[in-house]
Amino acid sequence: MSKDISALDMRNIPAHVAVIMDGNGRWAKKRGLDRSAGHKAGADVIEALMDAAFSLKIKCISLYAFSTENWSRPSSEISSLWKLFEYYFDVKMPLMNQKGIRIVHSGVYDRLPKSMVEKIKNAEKITAKNKNIILNFCLNYGSRREIVDAANRALFKTGKNVLTEKMITDNLYAPNLPQVDLMIRTSGEMRISNFLLWQAAYAELVFTKTLWPDFRPKHLYKAILEYQKRNRRFGGI
């Protein structure tokens, strides 16, 4: 057993861990590779992360795969990303379904390739009854837009001109997920980049210099150990 996991208090495991998967491009550059190679290496990390999360009985992992701001990247990189995402859904989803992982999508379908939309919807459908752990795949996601969309949906549904926190929460992209307890960002950057702002209102933030393709279960254990050292007061004393 890893020394890091043996140090964890299994009674204090975060229910929802959100991860900003940063550093793919820098990982590739350090090795003289194309950025697409970094994205491929980063995608290969997910399976081991989900296995580790399930072993800890984490209920949900949210992964920031592609933001609404990422459209500003070169078209060649975006094209390679769609090919990678489609490959991932084709190859990995059957295995994830077999492992009892439920796939949830947070984000909008605007501008996504039609084939990608179909694969996302199919993955959600075939894994809908799985109960081991949730993988919230945040693809074409931006938190500010999510909050605006939730507010507009709530106004449309209720016809009211005054909103409550519950009305916003109930109309988020994935409203039934637990609030984020722990948010991890890799690569050394120290910002949350418009990710799950509403859900992470009281999340503990852990930043690691490890580039995402080098992220291993031991890094997850270290982040949770740091989380367990925090005193979560939620505004109290």
Catalytic center residues:
22, 70
Closest C-alpha among 23, 19, 70 to residue 48: 19
Task: Please report which helix (H) or strand (E) contains residue 182, including its range.
Answer: strand 182-185
Q: Which residue has tokens 């920031």?
A: 64
Q: Which two tokens stand for residue 196?
A: 């799950």
Tell me how far apart the terminal alpha carbons of the chain are, to the nearest angstrom: 37
Q: Which two tokens stand for residue 138?
A: 């945040």
Q: CB within 8 A of 114, min separation 6: which ones?
A: none
The dihedral of CA 116, 39, 106, 15: what is its sign? Answer: positive
Q: Which residue has tokens 């997910």?
A: 46
